[in-house]
Structure 1
């Protein structure tokens, strides 16, 4: 009996697709300005609020990163097929959901990398601002408070993203459908 070599072929719809260098350039510039604006706003607010207020701002930034990570995973995990029948039935948001899924790479890049990663970076600088505030008001060791706060923020971020990924994978089509509805309302407003 001779051994036969089995050839496994995988089909990938992106194999022959050209790299969109314009998108790479645009998203890089957008990321720079979004990070600049969010970083400025968070640091200005950090200086003007109390330590408790700064903690709430920090938790909001972390929560924002977790939510956008969930959205990015949902977009990449969703399937287009159910939205075609919804679209033929004129269900609001179905066509937009198809558009989102067909541009999953760009949409996920924006949600996960632009918003998600910027939130992670800004939460780090916000943690540093809180440490500085704590040092001004209390006499605790800088190193210990810095390590503890950084560890707590990292745990909340990673734990939140782990939960978000589970939710995103289990309910990807529903989440993308809701994004489609939101996009349809935005489109409708633009037409006015």
Structure 2
């Protein structure tokens, strides 16, 4: 088996394990939060989960669309986050896979299951309205979340493609802050 295929399989296995763990964490946290709040707060939590998916989808697209050259100039001028931006772009395939496939897809799945909890809460409130009202509400909320997700990702892709340099430098600055403040290594070494 050639070396490139081995690295690809190793990355795929690693990302699958990370996805499993993160999906479990997101699902447990969102479910436990949703059981303790009103349906309105629950719906706001669902919107937050959708927003997280949109943002990470945009980050993944921006990483693949960005040009590396301006970040080398910024890194030479010691601009905070520029070194991290170069690392992001050099690893754009892995960064995009994590952002789009791991976080983005997990957000979509968790928002769907979280929305189910919200719909059940509302259905219990309007149980006198009958199954027609419950079905109508379920269809309405599900369609609204789907429209917000798809529409938000479409807008995010537009910004990612047309403002990739700005998005990636801001991402680099956030990552630099987190790595410096919390002593957590998020990106691979630039060496």
The TM-score normalised by the length of structure 2 is 0.87
Q: Match of 1:176? A: 168
d(CA) in 1 for partners of 2:94 and 2:58?
Answer: 15
Q: Match of 1:59? A: 47
d(CA) in 1 for partners of 2:78 and 2:69?
Answer: 15
Q: Which has the larger radius of gyration?
A: 1
d(CA) in 2 for partners of 1:167 and 1:68?
Answer: 12
d(CA) in 1 for partners of 2:65 and 2:101?
Answer: 16
Alpha-carbon RMSD: 1.6
Structure in which a larger fraction of residues adopt helix? 2
Q: Match of 1:49? A: 37
Q: Match of 2:98? A: 110
Q: Match of 1:12? A: none
List runs of 5+ in structure 1 lacking aligned partners. 1-15
CA-to-aligned-CA distance 1:140-159 (integer Å, 9 cap, x gap): 43322211111111011111
Equivalences, count: 176
Q: Match of 2:66? A: 78
Superposed displacement of residue 110, structure 1? 0.7
List runs of 5+ in structure 2 lacking aligned partners. 185-191
**Does the CA-based 8 Å contact 2:126-2:134 persist in structure 1?**
no
